[in-house]
């Protein structure tokens, strides 16, 4: 087994996250027990959001979606307090990607297997983006934290007739997320050895899977633009929300660790994946 020049190991707040046995065994075969533990220290808790499990599920028939908590919806009208205008992009009203209930998100997260919940416990988080950004500077998105019970308002008419995303209810469940071989944190563990990093990344994806809609965690797409110094807050696959974004197949909202810890959502950045 290669003798990697390991960087000093600093335990993180999520080091006690339980790694699935299948993934642990696979990684130990690739890089050994000690190195597997270090990969485990990079795992992040997240919430996978899905709408396909709720199409025929009601509160009275919740056994149809065991382990999934209703947390809000993608698309539809936005709960905006009086005096708060619908966000505008470059000549268009921004598109509402998701409206999520913080209390329900926290409930779903804390029903999982560990990790620190970094988002508010109350109110609603509204995720907007410009589906037709004039440039790719990453600033064409917005997150609003508003009080629960704010009146809902439909999107204003688009000058080009673009229809808003249809409202679709979503549920969430806790899940682990792993870095890809493109992430500096994983490559640095293996002294820049891309082949080993790719093998570790492939094993993680095989055992943890991906998500078309994910809150928190690591980036699921190897082709998404990654704003420097930021981590993904919300990731949205176009097909998962019935979006027509042309060549855009995935959009994401990114935030710095510092802003996430402080609950500052006014400096988020846009990530884009083009087919």
Which CATH number belongs to the domain containing residue 253 in this structure? 2.30.320.10
The token pair that represents 246 in the structure block: 């042309």
Tokens of 195: 């082949």
Q: How many other C-beta atoms are found inside a 10 Å radius of the C-beta of residue 109?
A: 24
Lowest-confidence region among 11-25, 116-130, 163-177? 11-25
Res 10: pLDDT: 44
Residue 4 counted as domain residue = no
Span 22-29, average pLDDT: 93
Give the mean model confidence (pLDDT) for residues 92-97. 93
CB-based contact 191:236 (threshold 8 Å): no
DSSP 33-45: HHHHHHHHTT-EE
6 has pLDDT over 80: no
- Residue 59 in any domain: the answer is no
pLDDT for residue 205: 92
pLDDT reading at 63 higher than 60 = no
- Inside any domain, residue 232: yes
CA distance linking residue 206 with residue 208, whole number of Å: 6
228: Cβ contacts below 8 Å, ≥ 6 apart: none
Domain presence at residue 12: no
What is the pLDDT at residue 110?
94
- Per-residue pLDDT tens over the stretch 132-182: 776 666 678 999 999 999 999 999 998 888 889 999 999 999 999 999 988
What local confidence, expressed as pLDDT, does residue 161 receive? 85
Domain range for residue 84?
21-53+69-274
Q: Pick 1 or 165 by higher pLDDT.
A: 165
Number of folded domains in the chain?
A: 1
In a domain, 81, yes or no: yes
Q: Does residue 2 lie within any of the structural domains? A: no
- Is residue 177 in some structural domain? yes
User: Is there a contact between 147 and 123 (Cβ–Cβ < 8 Å)?
Assistant: yes
- Picking from 184, 213, 212, 187, the residue whose alpha carbon sits closest to that of residue 198 is 187
Choose the weakest-confidence range: 58-72, 76-90, 220-234.
Answer: 58-72
Any domain includes 212: yes
88-112 average pLDDT score = 93
């Amino acid at each position: 087994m290669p003798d990697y020049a390991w960087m000093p190991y600093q335990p993180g707040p999520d080091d006690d996250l339980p790694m699935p046995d299948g993934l642990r065994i696979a990684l130990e075969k690739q890089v050994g027990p000690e190195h597997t533990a270090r990969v485990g220290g990079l795992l992040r808790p997240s919430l996978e959001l899905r709408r396909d499990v709720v199409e025929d599920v009601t509160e009275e028939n919740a056994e149809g979606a065991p382990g999934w908590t209703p947390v809000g919806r993608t698309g539809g009208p936005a709960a905006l307090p009086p005096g708060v205008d619908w966000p505008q992009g470059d000549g268009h009203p921004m598109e509402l990607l998701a409206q999520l209930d913080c209390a329900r998100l926290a409930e779903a997260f804390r029903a999982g297997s560990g990790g620190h919940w970094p988002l508010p416990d109350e109110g609603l988080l509204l995720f907007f983006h410009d589906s037709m950004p004039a440039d790719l500077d990453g600033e064409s998105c917005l997150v609003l934290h508003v009080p629960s019970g704010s009146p809902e308002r439909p999107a204003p008419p688009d000058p080009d007739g673009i229809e808003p995303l249809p409202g679709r209810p979503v549920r969430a469940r806790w899940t682990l997320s792993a870095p890809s071989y493109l992430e500096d944190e994983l490559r640095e563990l293996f002294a820049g050895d891309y082949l080993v990093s790719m093998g570790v990344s492939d094993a993680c994806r095989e055992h943890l899977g991906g998500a078309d809609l994910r809150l928190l965690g690591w980036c699921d797409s190897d082709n998404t633009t990654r704003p420097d110094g930021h981590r993904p807050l919300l990731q949205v696959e176009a097909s998962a929300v019935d979006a027509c974004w042309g060549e855009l197949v995935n959009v994401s909202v990114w935030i710095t660790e510092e802003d996430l810890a402080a609950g500052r959502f006014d400096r988020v950045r846009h990530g884009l994946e083009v087919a």
